[in-house]
Chain A
Amino acid sequence: MNEHRPDPDALLAEIQGEVTDLEGPGRRGRLKVFFGATAGVGKTYAMLEAARERARAGLDVVVGVVETHGRKETAALLEGLDVLPRRRIQHRGIWLEELDLEGALARRPEVLLVDELAHTNAPGSRHQKRWQDVEELLAAGIDVYATVNVQHLESLNDVVARVTHVRVQETVPDRLVEEAHQVELIDLPPDELLQRLSEGKVYVPEQVERARQHFFQPGNLIALRQLALRYTAGHVDERMRGYRRAHGVGATWPVGERLVVGIGPAPSSRSLVRATKRIATQLGAEWHAVFVETPESSRWPEEDRKRVWETLSLARELGAETATVGGSGAAAILDYARRENATRIVVGKPHHSRWRDRLFGSRIEDVIRRSGDVDVYVISGEEEDASAARRRYTPQKREPIDLAIALAAVAAVTGLAVFLRERTDLANIVMLYLAAIVALAALLGRRASLLASLLSVAAFDFFGVPPYNTFAVRDARYLPVFAVMLVVALVVSTLTARLRAEVDASRRRERRTAALLGVTRELVPLEEPTAIAAAVTRQLTAIFGTPVRLLAPDPFGRLRTLDPAAPGAEALTPGVAEWVRNHGKPAGLGTSTLPDSGALYVPVAVGEEPLAVLEVPGERAAEFRDPEQMQLLETFARQTGAALERARLAAMSRRAEHLTELSRLKSRFIAVASHELRNPLNSLGLAVELLEERLSGTQLADDAVSRELLAAAHGDVSRLRTLAKELLDLSRLEAGAVELHLQDVAPATLIQQSISSAEITARERGKSLLTEIAPGVALVRADPALVARALDNLIDNALRHAAGKVVVTADLVPDFVQFSVADDGPGVPLQEQERIFEPFAGEGSRESVGLGLSITREIVRAHGGDVWVDSGPGPGAVFTFNLPLAATATVVEESI
């Protein structure tokens, strides 16, 4: 079969959503939507019937929430189905019943029934909306059957409102239904619906009349049915496209349609966004919603700015990419569209009168004229609420002061003008006023400088032009002067004000960029999670003006602050923080999930997993409703995550390096230790066997050879015994398992003790052993037995290598007494000086000295001292170690 033509059966199955996915624990749950034009078409009934069928097929079907609205037939279908108890929430004295999300997640049914996706949960629930509950259930791998009416779809909200004159407040994002595995349209002709309504099957009787008058008019029902049918058809269409995309049949679907919609503060922007969403869905295009931040927009009243954020949030909810760009109107939108390779731009129809366009220029005309090959759609935005659309001017706090300053300044200049009017030319007085206006425009708001302009012209006329103290003008030549003065004043004040606003806006952007740069720059060199946490906390607290904290899992997996300033503190609301970590989505104050909590939480993804969480406490969290602020916070979260990931990788690589080094040392140790064991073990074994042979053989056991063998065996045994003891001592010393019996000892005593035990060996080898103890050497704090052992080992080593002389010395240095053992042997090459204290550094080439120096080092370190070797290019080596002074000795030092 031609691979470009899929099997029709497979296509049909895919469209109907019946192709079974791979089952598995990580599988996302599937959503089946029972979709209807209005209430009463029988969605809940159909859902319950389907559920009963699944239950009969042996699936674990549980009823999460089903509203029977008192309908008997529906209630009857509930019989025999497992019903999850509802969660009861008390709100303002009323008990509300909600879907028990926790219970459902714990119960983990195969299919869960959830009626009315658009339902708004009672305050205090985890999510604001029921559809958010469903999203979490799906993410947990539970299949959900749900019901939705067409008027609840976000993108159809306006259309439905226009048709029925009833605006539905509860909406469901289209995305949810679009991504549903299966959408089943429950269709009922309007006549039958009305019939059912009058029979009391839809609403309980007392509600019937009200419903019939308002919503259930035949015209409405026909329109809604059409909408529902069209939407379902579109859904099937979309699934078919999805199938074609998934199976590489993309050739017929040129990609690249991309829409950009410009939004503003008007409430109609919401409709604009919804309309764009509909167009984008029809085209299968991705779309962007852009807000252009102009100098004026920064002075908009809070209400307008909030509306812009909300519209951007709505766009995001509907699947758009959102952006805020700086610049002025048309140019900014076109720039953005070009950058994003958009093919179409959507703008709203203007609502103002034409004279404003004539005067100030039309933004839409600008966009159309300069759009080039980009198509421009001009769409009428439906007014949601006419009164809200009126943009009112809200005075800023500083304004009365500004106006007073303007008034005072004009008065002062006028005073000066009165003083100068007889003494100088009129032009100079005009200049004086203009100078004042420029200064005021630069310092004050636009309205204050406008006021100053008008006042100046009036005051100039009244006080500056003869006849004085009247508005009458003697000479008509002055009239153009007034006109020019007024125009110049207005233009200057307007331009100055705009310039200032632009400077403000760019300064704000600059501050944000600088903050981001600062955080990034500070995080780059850090490799310690606590240092990263401290830097993030400090920077974000400075930027957002509120104590932001970074929470990361502690060794027990609980979220705790990492900041060294306050380590191990809990989150303000640990449950929400935990939820955010587990779901990788922002939640808490200012979001739609768990909005009642005291703080806002944003996930910080470390690598692929959202491991850590940023916490913004209550007071300022509400500001993050501004998508721009939120975006900034999320950017910081990403940076933090990257830094933490880097820290984790660095730690892992350090650990790996350390382990490699350890394993290298260990295998070398084992190789050498085994060598040290094998040699004596071999000759011991051979000697014993030979002795046995001699005893059983013809030869006498008591001959010279046998005695020689016996001596060798004895020597090997003692060598093995020493090795075993040294290995044990070394490992105990290294593990810190040796208890020090500290006392104040005179260095001379320690040295004398070791010398006397080494003297025999020295004599045997024909070497001289000398001691030099510096006068005034203080007592040391040490374990005499262990230090004697350390000294013994050094002296033994020196005697082994010395040509003829070994000198043991003790000297006083600050805080320590320094012991040295010097020999006149061949010396230690520089490259071996560091290694010589490692176990078996001699590679077994010297008999049984493998561990002596290592043991010495461990003993000295246990005392808080250090040991090293000095050996120049010439002969001779000096092994030195230091021991801390006894406490009494230190006191004596200090008092001197």
Chain B
Amino acid sequence: MTRGSADERRGRRGILVVDDEAHTRLTLQQALGPLGYQVRLAATPQEAIVALGDSSIELVLLDLKMPGGSGLDVLRHIERHRPGLRVVMITAHGTVDSAVESMKLGALDLIQKPFSVEEIRRLVEREMDESRRASTAVADYLAQVEQARDKVRRSDFAGAIEHLTRAIDEREDRPEAFNLLGVVEEVRGDKVTAQRHWRMALLVSPTYEPAKKNLHRTVSRSGGAPDLG
């Protein structure tokens, strides 16, 4: 493949480099630029938090040790505001203590200085592929759910169940499919099974409103229409 075509395919996919060492920022920008991603730079945790407002960023390369607040602060921010964002820690330390701490906070991998151009490129490609795979899976899942929702509206419950089963095969950590399964069971008259599905939806995503509403509606017998999400 040529570089040009890669650029087109990748569009505006972004990588954020957070490091207080100017030379590291410069060299990383130059090393990752040819891969066709947009490389954004941040020298402090504050700058990093501002840059994270850009939703096109899919991967963060984060130096653990920085003056004015450590890399762990950035990690905490990501966990709160951009869950699921991929983060790789960069460290110049030989110790593992802070690495363990950062892993707990959701960092996926850790790379130790010094590393080669080859190494960092391989790592970034792998992470970006993984990121895309994850987002494609979500897109597939949502498409199946949408079709199932359509089938439910048209009372084609068997067809809906088929789509929902496929969706759950794709991603079983999302609540939408479970919620719809519950609606199908409710309509078919099995309220107990329906409630079990909604509880499952809430288990994978405790804040998912449609499942909450459906469960509450059937338990309190307050009446009303099922929420298809």
| B120 proximity list for chain A (CB < 8 A) | 686
| A671 proximity list for chain B (CB < 8 A) | 93-95
The stretch of B21-29, B185-193, B194-202 that contacts the partner chain: B21-29
Flag A686-699 by CB within 8 Å of B: 1 or 0 each: 11011001000000
A682 close to B117 (CB less than 8 A)? no
| B26 proximity list for chain A (CB < 8 A) | 683, 687, 708-709, 712
Flag A204-240 by CB within 8 Å of B: 1 or 0 each: 0000000000000000000000000000000000000
| B103 proximity list for chain A (CB < 8 A) | none
Does A428 belong to the interface (CB within 8 Å)? no
Does B85 belong to the interface (CB within 8 Å)? no
| B22 proximity list for chain A (CB < 8 A) | 712
If A671-B93, A674-B93, A674-B94 touch, whether A683 touches B116 (CB-CB below 8 Å) is: no
A686 close to B94 (CB less than 8 A)? no
Does A715 belong to the interface (CB within 8 Å)? yes
- Complex: how many Å from CA A680 to CA B19? 13
Does B223 belong to the interface (CB within 8 Å)? no
Query: Which residues 59-95 of B have a CB within 8 angstroms of A?
Result: 65, 67, 92-95
A845 close to B117 (CB less than 8 A)? no
| B118 proximity list for chain A (CB < 8 A) | 689
A679 close to B27 (CB less than 8 A)? no
CB within 8 A of A686: which of B31, B67, B92?
B31
B114 close to A712 (CB less than 8 A)? no
| A844 proximity list for chain B (CB < 8 A) | 65, 92
CB distance from A697 to the nearest CB of B (A): 9
| B112 proximity list for chain A (CB < 8 A) | 678
- Complex: how many Å from CA A182 to CA B65? 78
Does A705 belong to the interface (CB within 8 Å)? yes
CB within 8 A of A705: which of B21, B30, B95?
B30
| B116 proximity list for chain A (CB < 8 A) | 685-686, 689
Nearest CB in chain A to that of B68: its residue: A845
CB within 8 A of B92: which of A682, A684, A708, A709?
A682
CB distance from A373 to the nearest CB of B (A): 72
CB distance from A167 to the nearest CB of B (A): 84
Nearest CB in chain A to that of B92: its residue: A678
B65 close to A686 (CB less than 8 A)? no
CB distance from B31 to the nearest CB of A (A): 6
If A682-B24, A715-B23, A845-B67 touch, whether A689 touches B117 (CB-CB below 8 Å) is: yes
| A682 proximity list for chain B (CB < 8 A) | 24, 27, 92, 113-115
Nearest CB in chain A to that of B27: its residue: A686
| B21 proximity list for chain A (CB < 8 A) | 679, 683
- Complex: how many Å from CA A686 to CA B21? 13
CB distance from A386 to the nearest CB of B (A): 91
| B27 proximity list for chain A (CB < 8 A) | 682-683, 686-687, 690, 709, 712
- Complex: how many Å from CA A278 to CA B188? 107
| B67 proximity list for chain A (CB < 8 A) | 845-846
Flag A843-863 by CB within 8 Å of B: 1 or 0 each: 011100000000000000000
Q: How large is the interface on A (under 10, 10 to 19, 20 to 34, 35 or more residues)?
A: 20 to 34
Does A681 belong to the interface (CB within 8 Å)? yes
| B65 proximity list for chain A (CB < 8 A) | 675, 844-845
Does A716 belong to the interface (CB within 8 Å)? yes
- Complex: how many Å from CA A680 to CA B92? 10
- Complex: how many Å from CA A274 to CA B182? 105
If A675-B65, A679-B24, A844-B65 touch, whether A686 touches B93 (CB-CB below 8 Å) is: no
| B30 proximity list for chain A (CB < 8 A) | 686, 690, 705, 709
Nearest CB in chain B to that of A712: its residue: B23
| A674 proximity list for chain B (CB < 8 A) | 92-94
- Complex: how many Å from CA A671 to CA B91? 12
Flag A608-628 by CB within 8 Å of B: 1 or 0 each: 000000000000000000000
CB distance from B120 to the nearest CB of A (A): 8
Which secondary structure characterizes the binding site on chain A? helix
- Complex: how many Å from CA A682 to CA B118? 13
Flag B9-47 by CB within 8 Å of A: 1 or 0 each: 000000000000111101110110000000000000000
- Complex: how many Å from CA A683 to CA B92? 11
CB distance from B70 to the nearest CB of A (A): 10
Nearest CB in chain B to that of A676: its residue: B92
B23 close to A680 (CB less than 8 A)? yes
CB within 8 A of B113: which of A681, A690, A708, A715?
A681
Flag B97-117 by CB within 8 Å of A: 1 or 0 each: 000000000000000111111
B117 close to A690 (CB less than 8 A)? yes
CB within 8 A of B24: which of A670, A675, A683, A689?
A683
Nearest CB in chain B to that of A677: its residue: B92
CB distance from A315 to the nearest CB of B (A): 69
CB distance from B30 to the nearest CB of A (A): 5
- Complex: how many Å from CA A682 to CA B115? 6
| A680 proximity list for chain B (CB < 8 A) | 23
CB distance from A690 to the nearest CB of B (A): 5
- Complex: how many Å from CA A683 to CA B117? 10
B117 close to A675 (CB less than 8 A)? no
| A681 proximity list for chain B (CB < 8 A) | 113-114
- Complex: how many Å from CA A715 to CA B24? 12
CB distance from A298 to the nearest CB of B (A): 75
A675 close to B114 (CB less than 8 A)? no
CB distance from A698 to the nearest CB of B (A): 10
A687 close to B93 (CB less than 8 A)? no
Flag A421-438 by CB within 8 Å of B: 1 or 0 each: 000000000000000000
Nearest CB in chain A to that of B33: its residue: A705
- Complex: how many Å from CA A709 to CA B94? 26
Query: Which residues 844-894 of A have a CB within 8 angstroms of B?
Result: 844-846
- Complex: how many Å from CA A373 to CA B209? 94
- Complex: how many Å from CA A681 to CA B92? 10
B92 close to A675 (CB less than 8 A)? yes
- Complex: how many Å from CA A846 to CA B21? 11
CB distance from A847 to the nearest CB of B (A): 9
- Complex: how many Å from CA A675 to CA B73? 20
| A670 proximity list for chain B (CB < 8 A) | 94
| A708 proximity list for chain B (CB < 8 A) | 26
| A689 proximity list for chain B (CB < 8 A) | 31, 116-118
Nearest CB in chain A to that of B90: its residue: A682
Nearest CB in chain A to that of B29: its residue: A705
Nearest CB in chain B to that of A716: its residue: B23
B117 close to A678 (CB less than 8 A)? no
| B28 proximity list for chain A (CB < 8 A) | 686
Nearest CB in chain A to that of B93: its residue: A675
| A709 proximity list for chain B (CB < 8 A) | 26-27, 30
| B115 proximity list for chain A (CB < 8 A) | 682, 685-686
A690 close to B31 (CB less than 8 A)? yes
CB within 8 A of A679: which of B92, B94, B117?
B92
B114 close to A678 (CB less than 8 A)? yes
Known contacts A674-B93, A675-B65, A689-B116; 12 additional CB pairs below 8 A are: A670-B94, A671-B93, A678-B112, A679-B92, A680-B23, A681-B113, A685-B115, A686-B28, A686-B115, A687-B27, A689-B117, A705-B30
Q: List 7 A-B contacts (CB under 8 A).
A: A675-B92, A679-B92, A680-B23, A690-B117, A705-B30, A712-B26, A716-B23
Closest 7 CB pairs of A and B: A683-B23, A686-B27, A682-B113, A682-B114, A678-B92, A678-B113, A712-B23
